Structure 1
Amino acid sequence: MSEDQTPPGRVKRGVKPSGKPTLKTIAQMTGLAVTTISRALNNAPELAQDTRDRVQKIAAEIGYLPDRAALRLKTGRTNVVALILEPDEQIYGFGTSLVTGITEALRDTDYHLVITPLFRNVPAIEPIQHIVRNRMADGVIFSKAEPFDERIRFLLDNNFPFVSHGRSQWPEQHPFADFDNEAYAYGATLRLASKGCKKVSIVLPDSALTYTDHLKAGVERGAREAGIAFEFAADVNLGSATDAIRNYVIKRAKRPERPDGYVCASELSALAIIGGLNEAGLAVGTTTHVVTKQASDMFMQFQPGAETVFEDFAEAGRNLGQLLIRRIGGETGGLHWMAQPRFDWPTS
């Protein structure tokens, strides 16, 4: 046999193989044992750095991917992080921004992000239970936390790693990332009072959500401190159709003691409210004022006349991902992050 010939069933060292590459493929290409290849791909510190680098470089070049089923059987790990999103959470880039931040946090780790949809009329706990009971992921991220959220209770009781976007009122500490909505609503209300508003209103999220109470507390505190009136919009919430919010604002503008200032908890509701105010003949920025949270550049393209406070969902995603990796790694205390609103009001 000439030195250029390779025995049948063998991969010539240094030659990229055909077919799906395996640990054995990399071992044949490098001359290293399969166990050494496995340790090198897992960055075992006892191996020389140049060995780890060489093995990982070859694995990347030939497109090696670990067998997740085998990995789960061997280690109990999937190297998967599950993000549960409702389809409507893509509105104005919430879902996209969150995914961007989470994937940045997972970069250079062994973890991959899998998005699990939560459809309307399906109990929010169902995808959580499916993931935990079938060990579909090593950790889970979800949003719209409730004060006594059954998802959080289930995950705590099962000691399953998770991070929620939003807080709960369970006595046990749990990992979360959140925006200080009470501080936002308080500051926004004071800003409206400084613009001469005598009565402020807010279209709140669903009453079951924790941050609804935070927004209510902020508006109430700010209004009482400024000595102005306040009200919470009736019959509509952030989940209502934009037409319903718009029509509510039009009708409310025609009744006595109408609000002359609105605190908005989302861009979409702000656009609906501004549309309603304009249709009612109230000029936003002069006879009526609006302060809203802003999460995208698109909002200001409409030149709505509102003042804005930025909420960075990509930053929230990065923190959600980082906190979850730490929780999967065994940490249990101090796993929370709270974004504070920045009030950069115009000077004019």
Structure 2
Amino acid sequence: MTGEDEHEKTAPVTTPLLSPGERPTLKTMSRITGLAIATVSRALSDAPDISVETKRRVRECADHIGYQPNRAGQRLRTGKTHVVSLLMPTEPDIMSHTAQLISSIASGLHGTPYHLVVTPYAPNEDLMRPLRHMIGTRSADAVILNQTMPKDPRVAYLMERGFPFATHGRTIWADQHAWFDFDNRRFAELGIAALARRGRRHVLIVAPPLDQLYGQDILEGITKACQIHGMTPLWLKGATSDSASKVIETAVSAALEETPEIDAILCSSPMSAITAIDTAEQLGRVIGRDFDAFAKEATPLLTRFRREALTLHEDVAKAGKALACAALQAIEDPKGPRMSGLDIPHYQDPLDAPSPDL
């Protein structure tokens, strides 16, 4: 029987309050749990030779007394910060997609020694600046990138330096790094097909920036599907799905007035869809009668705004957890295979729903 096993059998978990003025330390946790200080430290570090039950006891104790590791000392001892950084742009309209991605990545790291830090950057900021700072200061053990470009300079920079990372979206080097992506080409094909089934022929596209790979995927999917279904795509000028609501409103209003035959709208985000639908309605058009709208969303926000809107679910929670696992694997096994995954969407068209009388 090991010393650790003896402690587990003879020292039940207790959670007394700290003495007046006492700071939560490894020594405090050793006293509370009855485990050796070294065992407590290794349990917090998720050491493989420490049992799951011991790790649970130690973490429960840490939560109870508010223990936070001295990360400077931890970094000196292990060379690790136990931080995974998510680089996110500061968008003008923060919607549930962003919040859910952050939440799901954090959930994927739960129960590990790692925690998530969100590193924001402005849309017009040098993309490399926050990355260079992070690697120069070694303030994280891995990074997760969002909104990737085909030849993303951030990915090239990280690959050149062998720094652990994962991307939400693919690049031309997808076979060499960890990633998770949503099949946006398939989303576009399903959207055009659904609009065509409703007799629509002229579709206004509120697309992502075309310098991003998922924007190019949507472009290819729409182009192919419109050819198949005999529809005419009209690309929104002067705005993208990432633009501020006011910018989208102005651009959509101009498009509808310039091309009154537009009878459908396809959007790559719920925020842009809400703005586009609202703009069309301000011009006197009725959704479901004069036009239909199709978009993807992570939570049922758009359908609560307008029940007539056609929506496809994007499982952002699945993406976040997969990215967390991919980042951890890149840290722990830098020379091993890279995790990757493609979420292929499915659309249940209400027109296909069986009659309640059947």
1:103 paired with 2:106, answer yes
Aligned to 2:331: 328
Structure 2 spans left out of the alignment, 5+ residues: 1-15, 354-358
- 1:81 pairs with one of 81, 84, 94: 84
1:310 paired with 2:306, answer no
User: Aligned-pair distance for 1:330?
Assistant: 0.8
RMSD: 2.6
Report the 3-state secondary structure (helix = DSSP H, G, I; strand = E; otherwise coil) of the residue aligned with 2:293.
strand
Contact 2:150 2:170 in 1 (8 A): yes
User: Aligned-pair distance for 1:21?
Assistant: 3.0
CA deviation vs aligned residue, 1:17-41 (integer Å, no higher than 9, x gap): 5432333444566776543443344
Aligned mates of 1:295, 1:174 — CA distance in 2: 25
Aligned to 1:182: 185
1:247 paired with 2:250, answer yes
Structure 1 spans left out of the alignment, 5+ residues: 1-13
Aligned mates of 1:277, 1:105 — CA distance in 2: 40
CA deviation vs aligned residue, 1:136-162 (integer Å, no higher than 9, x gap): 011111211111111111111111111
> 1:1-348 residue pairs with structure 2 within 5 A?
16-17=18-19, 18-27=21-30, 34-44=37-47, 46=49, 58-88=61-91, 91-170=94-173, 172-256=175-259, 258-303=261-306, 305-330=308-333, 332-347=336-351
User: Aligned-pair distance for 1:76?
Assistant: 0.8
Report the 3-state secondary structure (helix = DSSP H, G, I; strand = E; otherwise coil) of the residue aligned with 1:237.
coil
Task: Summarize the Cα distance change of 1:19–1:91 in structure 2 as closer, same or farther, 3 Å threshold.
Answer: same
- TM normalised by structure 2 equals 0.84
CA deviation vs aligned residue, 1:283-329 (integer Å, no higher than 9, x gap): 22122221111223332222262211111222221121121112211
Higher mean alpha-carbon deviation, 256-265 vs 142-151, is at 256-265
Structure whose CA Rg is larger = 1
- TM normalised by structure 1 equals 0.86
Contact 1:182 1:214 in 2 (8 A): yes
Report the 3-state secondary structure (helix = DSSP H, G, I; strand = E; otherwise coil) of the residue aligned with 1:341.
coil
Task: Summarize the Cα distance change of 1:53–1:181 in structure 2 as closer, same or farther, 3 Å threshold.
Answer: closer
Matched to 1:242, the amino acid is: S
Task: Summarize the Cα distance change of 1:130–1:298 in structure 2 as closer, same or farther, 3 Å threshold.
Answer: same
Aligned mates of 2:61, 2:274 — CA distance in 1: 53
Contact 2:295 2:312 in 1 (8 A): yes
Higher mean alpha-carbon deviation, 313-322 vs 61-70, is at 61-70
Aligned mates of 2:322, 2:174 — CA distance in 1: 22
Report the 3-state secondary structure (helix = DSSP H, G, I; strand = E; otherwise coil) of the residue aligned with 1:254.
helix
Contact 2:168 2:323 in 1 (8 A): yes
CA deviation vs aligned residue, 1:139-190 (integer Å, no higher than 9, x gap): 1112111111111111111111111111111375211121111000011111
Report the 3-state secondary structure (helix = DSSP H, G, I; strand = E; otherwise coil) of the residue aligned with 2:151.
coil
Report the 3-state secondary structure (helix = DSSP H, G, I; strand = E; otherwise coil) of the residue aligned with 1:116.
strand
Task: Summarize the Cα distance change of 1:90–1:325 in structure 2 as closer, same or farther, 3 Å threshold.
Answer: farther
Matched to 1:201, the amino acid is: L
Contact 1:90 1:96 in 2 (8 A): no
Aligned mates of 1:262, 1:49 — CA distance in 2: 52
Aligned mates of 1:257, 1:51 — CA distance in 2: 68
User: Aligned-pair distance for 1:254?
Assistant: 3.2
User: Aligned-pair distance for 1:211?
Assistant: 0.9
Aligned mates of 2:156, 2:17 — CA distance in 1: 53
**Number of residue pairs matched?**
335
Aligned mates of 1:90, 1:277 — CA distance in 2: 20
Aligned mates of 2:306, 2:51 — CA distance in 1: 59
Aligned mates of 1:283, 1:172 — CA distance in 2: 46
Matched to 1:229, the amino acid is: T
Aligned mates of 1:298, 1:32 — CA distance in 2: 49
Aligned mates of 1:237, 1:90 — CA distance in 2: 13
User: Aligned-pair distance for 1:282?
Assistant: 2.7
Matched to 1:131, the amino acid is: M
